[in-house]
Structure 1
Amino acid sequence: MKLVSLFGNIAPSIDPLRQQAMARAYTPIIRTILVPGCAYYLFITFSHWRDETGLPLAILGSLSAFTAFCFYLLRQHVLTEQSTSLLRLELSGLLINLLLYTNVLVYLLINFEQSKLVYFAMLAVVFSTTAVTLRITLASVFLSLTTLYWFASSLSTELFDQYVSIGVATAFGSLAMATLLRKAILQQIDARLLADRLAAKARRLADTDMLTGVPNRRAIFEKIDYLVQQRRPFWMGIFDLDGFKAINDVYGHIVGDDLLCAVVNRASALNIEGATFGRIGGDEFVAIFTGQVDAKTAEHLGATVIDAISTPYPVDLLHLSIGASAGFSHFPSMGASGAQLYEKADYALFKAKTQTRGQCVLFDTAEDEEMKRAIEIERALREGDLEQELFLLYQPQYSPEQERVVGFEALARWQSPKLGLVRPDLFIRAAERAGHIRRVTNILFSKGLAEMAHWPTDISLSFNLSAQDISDRAFILSLLGQIMKSGIAPQRIEFEITETAVMTDLDTSSKLLEELQASGCRIALDDFGSGYSSFEYIDQLPLDKVKIDRSFVRKVAHSNTSREIVAGVIGLCRKLDLRCVLEGVETEAEMDILGKLQPDLIQGYLFGRPMSAEDARRKILEQDGAKPKLKPVPRSA
């Protein structure tokens, strides 16, 4: 044990990484030694041709030439830096030592010169530096010194004793040199292995999501780039959790984190062949399906993941339910780069969340131009000075009973320096998809509050909220904070929502709308009648006003059915103590019919188109001094 401790392990390390590192460390050393070794034995061959004749020349010349040739082959074809193993290196070192030994042995057998016995001692020193492993060192040194003693045994006792002394000194010196050299190299190897392990660990940490343990955004996109470079087909799917934010807000981040880990466990437990599942941020995940997977199979796999994710979770004695939506794109048929594939999968995801929530949607290549336009708008939103570029127009809401404008609806507009005047539906949808909608809402709401400061206190403002706005409690509270700072009475502010906005998460939306209503603000349901379940929302949402969609209003002049529907909704609102607004009234003929139904409020081109802030102020100032020429039919007693 002490010998092993002193000289290190005699056998090569069984650790494959350490063996590989040793081979990498020793190979350049041995290759370097072979160059002068080959030159030396070419010179020796020349010397033999000069000094020897007959059989000695044939034997010694052939042996030295063969040695030079072997050294050349070892360096050029055997000990390559790319493919050398420790075993190959060890065997090559043994061969080198035997060739060196054989040359000296054969020469002394043919031309014995007592003074040249010291060559065996010199060989022992050389062996101690060239042998890769300690066992080869010990075997080579033992062979060399044993041969020295064998030759010296035929000499006088005095000379033999001298060579014994030389041999002993050489043995200890050689072993000490071999141990020190080997220890130094092994220390370097161990240091490099440690550095490699730390670097690998750092790499794993850099490529792993710290919460869930799956590949993170960086690792996922590195794999996508690799697959693209290798031209290997694959599907990329982006999964977004539905309802997670509400759980995170209500139960806290600890429960939310546990839920995310459970989602990953569910997806991983599916063991889909060729699938890689990773988290790219928040509650957004990516799945990569490699191989020859057709569109139908990809859609089925996406639906399988969604079904697994959507099963209720037992977390801390709770049974929490969330859903998921997914968008998929395919390489190479839908994009030539990771960025393009992500954009298209994200676009498909947006369609899934807005149109078919809870399902997997594949990108439709026919929508390429539409997506490019949307991305162009998103880029302009990110890069633009929205404080300067966004503005509001104001459309009057007219009260037939009071015969005056009692409020305005704020309509979002965006004048982009790059794109010009962008349609509201386009830039609002793009802002929602890109996650900029709260910034847009915040800027526009601030401008609306600033304009209200110039209005009389009996004039109200209706402001539209998006689905993302009313799913974020912190953002809703920030809007209430703005109202408080402005000094404007909350009762003058009305927030409009659509059934499309609330249907994404009805429970959360309802609670946040209740908080807005409790603060004094009013809530209006916009576009009533344009969806499929508006009456359900009237029952479940805290409403103060209902706005009947213009699709019914425009038909009242020639459709008895539309007229009866509008009359029925007006009567329903009156019974439920809700204000009712008729949208899209544009002609006197429409107003003649609608006036008989005793509507509460009218909004349409007949009483004012969307106008600038200056025009809105002017209209407010003028209306008290001069009534509009068009007087709707007053309410009957």
Structure 2
Amino acid sequence: MNSGTVALREKAKLLDTVLDTMDQGLMMIDAAGVVQVCNARALALLDLPPALMRSRPAFEAVRQYQIAQGEFGTASDALKRWVADSGLECRAHTYERERPNGTVLEIRTVPLPDGGAVRTFTDITARKRAEVTLQVSETRLALAQDAGSDGLWDCDLTTGEAWSSDRWWGVLGYEPGELASHAHTWRALLHPEDAGAAERALIEHLSGRAPTFACEHRMRRKDGSWAWMMTRGKVVARAADGRALRFIGTQIDISARKAAEGQVAHMARHDGLTDLPNRALFHERLEIRLADLHLHGGACAVLCLGLDRFKAVNDSLGHAAGDFLLRAVAHRIRAVLRAEDTVARLGGDEFAVLVADAGDPSHAETLAARLIAAIQAPIPFGKHRLKVGLSVGIAQAPSHGFDSETLFRHADLALYRAKSEGRNTHRVFEPAMDQAEAARRDLERDLRQAIEGDELILHYQPQVSTRTGRLLGFEALVRWEHPTRGLVPPNAFIPLAEESGLILALGEWVLRAACREAARWTRPLKVAVNLSPRQFQQADLPERILAILTETGLAPTRLELEITETLIINDMARALNILRRLKAFGVAIAMDDFGTGYSSLATLQAFPFDKIKIDRSFVGHVEVSPQAAVIVRAVLGLGRSLGMSVVAEGVETDAQMRFLATEACDEAQGYLISKPQPIERFAEQIGAPEGFVAPGSPDAAVA
């Protein structure tokens, strides 16, 4: 063997080695269709036996072997036709097919110049799986973007070029590509008022001082409106010197959230019924105005407004009428004020006005007069014409105070004076009002101590039969003997108790003391106690009363509770439930002051009253007023028809007593019989079996 032959064999061996180490399978077919070369990788990828290929078979033999092994059983119809068409073998062609074992091959055929072809086989299974995984991920991402509210963006900070998702454009009303995908576009769409804050936050992050970028801002939509956005981002690539290179993030439309927050903020600072500023916003604006006065001088005024007779409308026509009235009043007040002034609803029937510029001291009083006149005009409500008045208290800054709390308190004191001096008028704060308020606070403190210290006393006024003069019971009336002020009249401390909230404690003290006293009496006389509106609002009132009866040992049948119709008219179903529970205990119920409020036959029929009390304003005029006499007769007839006894209050003359006896009134009460006195003055009557005889009769026993 010569050296040339050896060299040739060495080259052939080297070629075989190179071919067998290739990552691709390779098969070379000559012009006669014989497989001249088939490397090890091709054998492995195609599962061909080495023995078959060692003999250099015809390519057709290889194909038949593959067909016999089911190699093309899962191939597509197009591929099967290609396999069957041997004339296509040497055409340039590249295709992919999945083998029965799941391997995916990329097969490429390259024709040779002298005939035949080279065919390569590449295992692309991993790549195809990665492509499928990527496609699934991209599909999921696209679905998530469509379902979510996040717009995505990716910005090359070296060029300013950016990519934004369809959602990013869509929330602003643009089609993708309608505007340039560049950082300048984002800046151009920013609201001018938000651009500064957004740029500062951006610089903080790009410089590395802030870990992320987050900013709430407005962006202009295609239609010109503004959308609130929350943009978050982070630098994901930096140069060696720290410069930010790539910036990606999200943008969410938060317009709905901002609108909701705005609504909540508005609700927190405005009255829900009238949409006027509430107390908090009023004081905020007052503080701002007073701070301005400190710096620049000038004057402002605070007006506290209280509606007169509002409760009467609310009680007689219900809350719907009351709410309508408050809205109408708010509208009228706004119509009188200047744009720079503020009106607020403080709650209930109380309003406040801030007169921003009150340089002329008379301006606030003139405004108060105009407000009173505006509110006086009747307000149509269905078939009714609602009519209320307005009382106004005025305090001016700086003359009456230079801080909001003092100024407002002084205006409130002036309102209190206006209400106590006739209502439907206005009063300007005077220093003496502060002294009066201090005295009122002292009185409230003393009243609280008197209730807690059991320092109050009860006086009792007898109720007698008009026919026989027999004592039937007493009405218990609270009195306050102040250690330094002396006897404080009820009309001085009862309203104070109602205003301060002490009426609940006071009412419970009266009820307990009256029951305790009556339980000591030898004779089973009744004791009548008035219930205040605040007491009647207690859901557990029947249980409270039963507990007091149990504690004191008084039989429920000896207790009579007096209520006015205004206590029950607001919520008649609730009131009926309370009265029925009290009746179930055996407690008697009397309607007090009948004829002075909104008493109706329907109310008397619907509620379980045992007694009607005719107000003294009618009884006191039966001698001189035919109309009063007719009203009293009508009430007496009504009581008989409904099976209720009738008590006449305020009987002061023998003639009134004779009239009541003639008209068959059941009971009488008044100064003719006895003024309210300590129970000790009636010691004989509450213990003597013969009872108490009314003055004026032959058998009268003087109390």
- Tell me whether 1:623 sits opposite 2:685 in the alignment: no
Counterpart in the other structure of 2:87: none
Residues 1:320 and 1:244: Cα distance change in structure 2 (over 3 Å): same
Find the partner of 1:410 among 461, 464, 476.
476
Find the partner of 1:380 among 437, 440, 443.
443
Provide the aligned length of Structure 1 versus Structure 2.
Answer: 441
Name the CA distance, whole Å, in 2 between partners of 1:525 and 1:371.
40
Deviations 1:329-370 (A, max 9, x none): 22329954221112333565x669xx87xxxx3433599978
Name the CA distance, whole Å, in 1 between partners of 2:158 and 2:333.
48
Q: Quote how far apart the aligned CAs of 1:461 are.
A: 1.9
Name the CA distance, whole Å, in 2 between partners of 1:451 and 1:351.
36
2:523/2:687 contact within 8 Å kept? no
Counterpart in the other structure of 2:269: 208
Name the CA distance, whole Å, in 2 between partners of 1:16 and 1:509.
52
Q: Which has the larger radius of gyration?
A: 2
Judging by fraction of residues, say which structure has more helix.
1
2:334/2:343 contact within 8 Å kept? no
- Tell me whether 1:344 sits opposite 2:414 in the alignment: yes
- Paired residues for 1:127-206 under 5 Å: none
Name the CA distance, whole Å, in 2 between partners of 1:237 and 1:365.
12
Find the partner of 2:279 among 212, 217, 222.
217
1:399/1:405 contact within 8 Å kept? yes
The Cα RMSD (Å) is 5.9
- Paired residues for 1:73-112 under 5 Å: none
After superposing the two structures, state which structure 1 stretch, 443-452 or 539-548, moved more.
Answer: 539-548
- Paired residues for 1:73-472 under 5 Å: 208=269, 215-227=277-289, 230=293, 231-238=299-306, 242=311, 273-281=339-347, 285-291=351-357, 295=365, 297-298=367-368, 300-301=370-371, 327-332=391-396, 335-336=400-401, 337-345=407-415, 348=418, 361-364=424-427, 373=436, 376-377=439-440, 380-382=443-445, 384-385=448-449, 386-387=451-452, 388-416=454-482, 419-455=485-521, 458-466=524-532, 472=537
1:583/1:603 contact within 8 Å kept? yes
Counterpart amino acid of 2:687? E
Counterpart in the other structure of 2:570: 508
Counterpart in the other structure of 1:569: 632
Counterpart amino acid of 1:450? R
Deviations 1:177-218 (A, max 9, x none): 9999xxxxxxxxxxxxxxxx9xx99x9699735967764433
Name the CA distance, whole Å, in 2 between partners of 1:306 and 1:539.
31
Name the CA distance, whole Å, in 1 between partners of 2:159 and 2:442.
67
2:475/2:528 contact within 8 Å kept? yes
Counterpart amino acid of 1:623? A
SS at 2:570's partner residue? helix
Q: Quote how far apart the aligned CAs of 1:624 are.
A: 1.4
Name the CA distance, whole Å, in 2 between partners of 1:401 and 1:20.
90
Residues 1:440 and 1:419: Cα distance change in structure 2 (over 3 Å): same
2:521/2:687 contact within 8 Å kept? no
Q: Quote how far apart the aligned CAs of 1:460 are.
A: 1.4
Residues 1:609 and 1:573: Cα distance change in structure 2 (over 3 Å): same
Structure ranking higher on relative contact order (CA contacts 8 Å, 6+ apart): 1
Deviations 1:393-443 (A, max 9, x none): 211112244543211111122344564432101212223334443343233
Residues 1:279 and 1:456: Cα distance change in structure 2 (over 3 Å): farther
Residues 1:225 and 1:621: Cα distance change in structure 2 (over 3 Å): same
Name the CA distance, whole Å, in 1 between partners of 2:284 and 2:436.
27
Counterpart in the other structure of 2:179: none
Residues 1:228 and 1:540: Cα distance change in structure 2 (over 3 Å): farther
Residues 1:508 and 1:482: Cα distance change in structure 2 (over 3 Å): farther
Name the CA distance, whole Å, in 1 between partners of 2:510 and 2:550.
16
After superposing the two structures, state which structure 1 stretch, 14-23 or 546-555, moved more.
Answer: 14-23
SS at 1:393's partner residue? strand
Name the CA distance, whole Å, in 2 between partners of 1:452 and 1:394.
11
Counterpart in the other structure of 2:67: none
SS at 2:463's partner residue? strand
Residues 1:603 and 1:370: Cα distance change in structure 2 (over 3 Å): farther
What is the TM-score of this pair, normalised by structure 1?
Answer: 0.51
Q: Quote how far apart the aligned CAs of 1:244 are.
A: 11
Percent identity over the alignment is 24
Judging by fraction of residues, say which structure has more strand.
2
1:591/1:632 contact within 8 Å kept? no
SS at 1:218's partner residue? helix
1:243/1:322 contact within 8 Å kept? no
Name the CA distance, whole Å, in 1 between partners of 2:630 and 2:378.
47
Name the CA distance, whole Å, in 2 between partners of 1:265 and 1:551.
36
Name the CA distance, whole Å, in 2 between partners of 1:366 and 1:220.
20
Name the CA distance, whole Å, in 2 between partners of 1:289 and 1:450.
55
1:525/1:545 contact within 8 Å kept? yes
Residues 1:478 and 1:377: Cα distance change in structure 2 (over 3 Å): farther
2:157/2:244 contact within 8 Å kept? no
Residues 1:594 and 1:262: Cα distance change in structure 2 (over 3 Å): closer
SS at 2:440's partner residue? helix
After superposing the two structures, state which structure 1 stretch, 566-575 or 439-448, moved more.
Answer: 566-575
Residue ranges of structure 1 left out of the alignment (5+ in a row): 27-171, 181-196, 313-318
Residues 1:539 and 1:210: Cα distance change in structure 2 (over 3 Å): closer
SS at 1:474's partner residue? coil
Name the CA distance, whole Å, in 1 between partners of 2:512 and 2:365.
46
Residues 1:607 and 1:308: Cα distance change in structure 2 (over 3 Å): closer
Name the CA distance, whole Å, in 1 between partners of 2:355 and 2:678.
52
SS at 1:607's partner residue? coil
What is the TM-score of this pair, normalised by structure 2?
Answer: 0.47
Residues 1:331 and 1:597: Cα distance change in structure 2 (over 3 Å): same
1:493/1:522 contact within 8 Å kept? yes
Residues 1:550 and 1:245: Cα distance change in structure 2 (over 3 Å): closer
SS at 1:220's partner residue? helix
2:306/2:415 contact within 8 Å kept? yes
Counterpart in the other structure of 1:579: 645
Counterpart amino acid of 1:345? L
